[in-house]
């Protein structure tokens, strides 16, 4: 029928490049409905103009260091990416997914970029921006007051917005895990909001990278619902592991 115009294709590629920093040939080919060879030729053309940078499997944008995003992700980036990929494997087509704010859930968002038939709900600005720029995912932002630290919305508006949605899977981060295995958070409000997010989801996954183990943050988190699993990048210390087992929380370890 009507192929998309070559020029709008390259346009789309540049956009995706701006948003994600890198694009893959296979993904673009699928998303744009053309063959991989065509995408390769597009990338070559863009590379000839100096607008893209060819790498194996796709193209990347020169030295685009994303601001604070990359900086925070730098802390245990590999582990978080592994958790993100693992978590993404639980997301089936056609589902509604709730993503909490935080660098670990952002890693999950990166892993969801290739998906198309899912709806993502989030209070995180970077996650919303990433997914709306470079994926076919439907994105709904939960509004509210922005916490500059988390770059995400919190507050009664966020809680109220949450009420309106049916969520299949909720992916929640945590501030820290005490030596006794208790989940903790930075503030009462954040804790309460995560609590509501858990209640909103039919299945709840906690994303915990190992830098959170035995990190103390001030507020105890209330766990109101069943936890489908914790996804971690390294096995937790014994005492924490025992606490998880006592609560019957399955622990899934992502491989790097």
Partner DNA sequence: TGCCGGTGTGGCATTTTGTGGCAATTTCTG
Partner DNA sequence: CAGAAATTGCCACAAAATGCCACACCGGCA
Residues found near a second copy in the complex (CB under 8 A): 2-8, 11, 14-15, 18, 20-24, 26-27, 30, 55-58, 60, 64-68, 70-71, 123, 125-126, 128-129, 131-133, 138-148, 151, 153, 157-158, 161, 164
Interface positions, 38-57, toward DNA (CB under 7 A): 38, 40-42, 44, 54, 56-57
CB closer to DNA, 42 vs 151: 42
User: To which residue do tokens 């639980």 refer?
Assistant: 90
Strands lying side by side in the sheet with 22-24: 22-24, 58-60, 53-55
DSSP state of 218: S
With b for 16 or more beta-carbon neighbours within 10 A and e for fewer, the 54-67 pattern comes to: eeeebbbbeeeeee
Smallest separation, CB 30 to DNA (Å): 10
User: 118: which residues sit within 8 A by CB, 6+ positions away?
Assistant: 91, 93, 94, 95, 96, 97, 112, 137, 138
Alpha carbons 88 and 86: distance in angstroms, whole number? 5
State the binding partner of 224 from DNA, a second copy, none, CB within 5 to 8 A by kind. none
CB closer to DNA, 35 vs 68: 35
State the binding partner of 117 from DNA, a second copy, none, CB within 5 to 8 A by kind. none
Give the interface size with DNA as a residue count (CB under 7 A). Answer: 21
CB closer to DNA, 87 vs 128: 87
DSSP state of 248: T
Q: Which of 9, 194, 195, 212 binds DNA (CB under 7 A)?
A: 9
DSSP state of 213: B
Alpha carbons 136 and 119: distance in angstroms, whole number? 9
State the binding partner of 35 from DNA, a second copy, none, CB within 5 to 8 A by kind. DNA
Contacts with DNA by CB under 7 A lie at: 2-3, 5-6, 9, 24-26, 34-38, 40-42, 44, 54, 56-58
């Amino acid at each position: 029928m009507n192929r998309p115009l070559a020029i709008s294709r390259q346009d789309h590629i540049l956009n995706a490049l701006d948003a994600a920093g890198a694009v893959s040939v296979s993904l673009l080919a699928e998303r744009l409905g053309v063959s991989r060879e065509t995408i390769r030729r597009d990338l070559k053309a863009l590379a000839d103009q100096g607008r893209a940078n060819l790498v194996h499997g796709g193209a990347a944008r020169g030295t685009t260091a994303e601001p604070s995003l990359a900086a925070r992700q730098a802390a245990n980036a590999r582990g978080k990416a592994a958790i993100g990929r693992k978590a993404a494997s639980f997301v089936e087509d056609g589902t509604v997914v709730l993503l909490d704010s935080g660098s670990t859930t952002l890693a999950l968002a990166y892993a969801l970029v290739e998906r198309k038939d899912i709806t993502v709900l989030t209070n995180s600005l970077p996650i919303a921006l990433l997914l709306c720029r470079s994926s076919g995912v439907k994105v709904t932002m939960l509004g509210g007051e922005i916490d500059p630290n988390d770059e995400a919305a919190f507050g009664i508006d966020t809680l109220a917005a949450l009420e309106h949605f049916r969520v299949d899977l909720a992916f929640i981060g945590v501030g820290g895990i005490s030596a006794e295995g208790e989940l903790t958070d930075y503030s009462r409000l954040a804790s309460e909001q995560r609590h509501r997010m858990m209640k909103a989801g039919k299945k709840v996954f906690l994303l915990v990278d190992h830098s959170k183990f035995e990190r103390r943050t001030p507020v105890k988190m209330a766990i109101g619902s069943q936890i489908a699993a914790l996804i971690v990048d390294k096995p937790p210390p014994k005492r924490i592991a025992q606490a998880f087992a006592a609560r019957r929380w399955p622990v899934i370890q992502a491989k790097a």
